[in-house]
Amino acid sequence: MGATTACKRVCRSPRSSLRSDPLVTRPWPLFTPFREGAPISVHSARSIVAVVDGDAAVRAQLRAQLKTLGIVILEFESADACLASAELPQMRCVVSEVSLPGTSGVELLRRLRLQAPSVQVILYTREADVPTAVAAMREGATDFIEKPAIITTVFRRVSQLLKNERPESGAALP
């Protein structure tokens, strides 16, 4: 067999081989919604993002936008509910309103630094003031966003964070 014949067999058109591959013809990413109370494996290939806001409509808007990233999204109406979550050690990112009922978003950030130091925290608010923004950044917030542009800004920021934290191929998630 000549080198040209071997090359033709090995170097055939990639389009024909992709069509026959059942994994390529499926939609990507495959999205499986999170079931409340279902255990999440620490070595899951999916990233977990928590959305904390007292307003159910805002949580729903953020969830709708973020689910296109193919991630698990947990919703909490208060900081205390988020901190009490069994999934806290597996969370990659927490997106929170600053003005929450009970514990504030900045206090949530402080507590997360103690309980889950590796989690990225994005805070947003309707009424931003300089002292609150400075306090949030000093406590280690990844970003501080002022409304009304939170939905698209949060989507871009979470997408960027997850892209930058992708594990090496074959490596388990932390």
The reply to whether 99 falls in a domain is yes
For residue 79, pLDDT beyond 50: yes
pLDDT digits (tens, 9 = 90+) for 41-59: 333 447 899 999 999 999 9
For residue 72, pLDDT beyond 70: yes
Q: What is the pTM of this model?
A: 0.64
List, in order, residues 6 or more apart from 133 with CB less than 8 Å away.
Answer: 144
Query: What's the start-to-end Cα distance of the chain, in Å?
Result: 50
Amino acid at 100: L
For residue 16, pLDDT beyond 70: no
Total structural domains within the chain = 1
Q: Which residues of 123-136 are buried (b: 16+ CB within 10 A; e: fewer)?
A: bbbeeeeeebbebb
DSSP E strand boundaries for the chain = 48-52, 72-76, 91-97, 120-125, 143-146
Output the domain CATH number for residue 81. 3.40.50.2300
Percent of the chain past pLDDT 90, that is, above it, reads 46
The reply to whether 27 falls in a domain is no
Percent of the chain past pLDDT 70, that is, above it, reads 68
For residue 113, pLDDT beyond 90: yes
For residue 142, pLDDT beyond 60: yes
The reply to whether 171 falls in a domain is no
Summary mean pLDDT of the chain: 75
For residue 37, pLDDT beyond 50: no
Domain membership of residue 114 as a residue range: 34-164
User: pLDDT category, 166, cuts 50, 70, 90?
Assistant: low
140-157 average pLDDT score: 84
